[in-house]
A and B are shown apart, each in its own frame.
Chain A
């Protein structure tokens, strides 16, 4: 005899509840949380290094970095003087994204009262992190001109979810046959109206508008 039992639950309800708890805590402590996502190697760490250099010390910034195995990214980010917590995702039974409970634990290692902006460098992956809310205030996706122009249409969930896109490594454009207009067209098609910042984390070109956008978002939350 078979019996059907109604369940009707979000599969990720546990993560979603934890993310809401994080969000309340970050609001109480006056911290703006940015979730940074991209394919492996698009330039998250380099972009964040340069971004933090421009924000500090006026915007007190801390970083949580998810890395599958190494501490290389954490070491590079620590050079900026920002407190850095490294999360080795292997220890949490998955190496493709950071979940809300991982952020909660990592945040315990930071003095959040002395932080205005908490940046989370997620694991390099355009699929999995889109499914896991961590309690952030804004999400950005980094893509680089060394990747296919069609990344946005291949990963529409990620590009729709994000509040801004950073098109990185534009210093390499003269050496590539990358069709930048096509890539930007694809982003606009998937997420009309989303701000797109073209920049080079290496040379610093184009960083200004992005940093201004971020700073404005942080200040809007802190002054609310």
Chain B
């Protein structure tokens, strides 16, 4: 369950991204991009995040996960397509020399921070 470690990294990066002037701020939402070819299961990640984020400025924050599709380009005929099934051969020439354009993302895009109610 490496999702635990990944949740911890998300918290570290997000907490360090809260501007200094927003003291006492609470992170309401973390916007993530996770590729379908990454080795992360969103449900496990949410579960782990809920545990690891306790007693941090991210406690209770929502993980908004955009799952990005696997986009491939054939190095032989330049066809571009989206891979939905685990078949990594070119849909037009049948070749197997692919460039994976996207789908391996595991990125924090932004955080949404709220000032604590006075």
Contacts and interface: CB of A to CB of B under 8 A. Distances in A.
Interface of A: 1-14, 93-94, 96-97, 99, 127-128, 130-132, 152-153, 156-158, 160, 188-193
Contacts of B17: 5, 7
10 contacts: A5-B19, A6-B109, A9-B108, A11-B106, A94-B1, A131-B6, A157-B104, A189-B89, A192-B96, A192-B98
B58 interface: no
Contacts of B97: 192-193
B88 to A, nearest CB: 6
Contact of B4 (A94, A127, A131, A189): A94
Nearest to B19: A5
A128 B39 contact: yes
A56 to B, nearest CB: 33
Nearest to B40: A131
B96 A11 contact: no
A192 B88 contact: yes
A5 B86 contact: no
A9 B107 contact: yes
A190 B86 contact: yes
Given A157-B38, A188-B96, 4 more contacts: A5-B111, A160-B37, A192-B88, A193-B96
Given A11-B9, A160-B88, A189-B87, A96 B1 contact: yes
Interface of B: 1-2, 4-6, 9-10, 13-14, 17-19, 22, 28, 31-32, 37-40, 86-89, 95-98, 100, 104, 106-115
B18 to A, nearest CB: 7
B39 to A, nearest CB: 4
A127 B13 contact: no
Given A156-B37, A160-B37, A189-B88, A94 B108 contact: no
B106 A4 contact: no
Nearest to A1: B115
A16 to B, nearest CB: 10
Contacts of A11: 6, 9-10, 13, 32, 106-108
A54 to B, nearest CB: 30
A158 B88 CA distance: 13
A160 B86 CA distance: 10
A158 B86 CA distance: 12
A44 to B, nearest CB: 18
A189 B89 CA distance: 7
Contacts of B5: 93-94, 99
Nearest to B12: A14
Contacts of B40: 131
Contacts of A6: 109-110
